[in-house]
Amino acid sequence: MELILDDAFFMRKALQEAEAAFDLGEVPVGAVITVRDRVIARAHNLTEKLNDVTAHAEMQAITAAANFLGGKYLTDCTLYVTLEPCQMCAGALYWSQVSRVVYGAPDPQRGFTAMGGKLHPRTLVTPGILEAEAAALLKRFFIERRNLN
């Protein structure tokens, strides 16, 4: 069976990260960063565990990718993230000059488009990859959390 390294393939890796966050009781968002179809960073939301609002999946992935590359610019990289980035993460992606941002579910409340944030003008954006899966995982998380309280 041939492995097809398309956006859905890498978004599935990001979804695996989101599931890892879910299992830890974190809002289930996951991210991976690739360079030429190679994953160089993966991360999931850890804001509860680390008691740190900056510990979004994207932020950790950006730091890890820059560490891997030995440079702070991600100009040849693609970030896959299961949920539309917030303005903080959009801001970090802006500074990183990342080539592409591919995301799953939109975030009409706190996504960067709703909040008025901006990516770098050279960054291409592809929304809606495995959107249903990412949204279903988030919905399940919030239903379960509501039932616990």
**Could you tell me which residues are annotated as the binding site?**
56, 86, 89
Binding mask of the shown chain, residues 60 to 99, with x at each position contacting its own copies by CB under 8 A: --xx--xx--xxxx------------xxxxxxx-xxx---
Question: Which lies closer to its own copies via its Cβ, residue 65 or residue 129?
Answer: 65
Least distance from its own copies to the Cβ atom of residue 87, Å: 4
Could you give the strand order of the β-sheet that contains 38-44, starting from the edge strand earlier in sequence? 38-44, 30-35, 77-83, 100-105, 124-126
**Residue 148: exposed, middle, or buried by beta-carbon count in 10 A (0-12, 13-18, 19+)?**
exposed
Q: Which amino acid makes up residue 57? A: A
Residue 126's SS3 state is strand
Annotated catalytic sites, by residue? 58
Residues contributing to the site for its own copies (CB under 8 A): 47-48, 51-54, 59, 62-63, 66-67, 70-73, 86-92, 94-96, 115-118
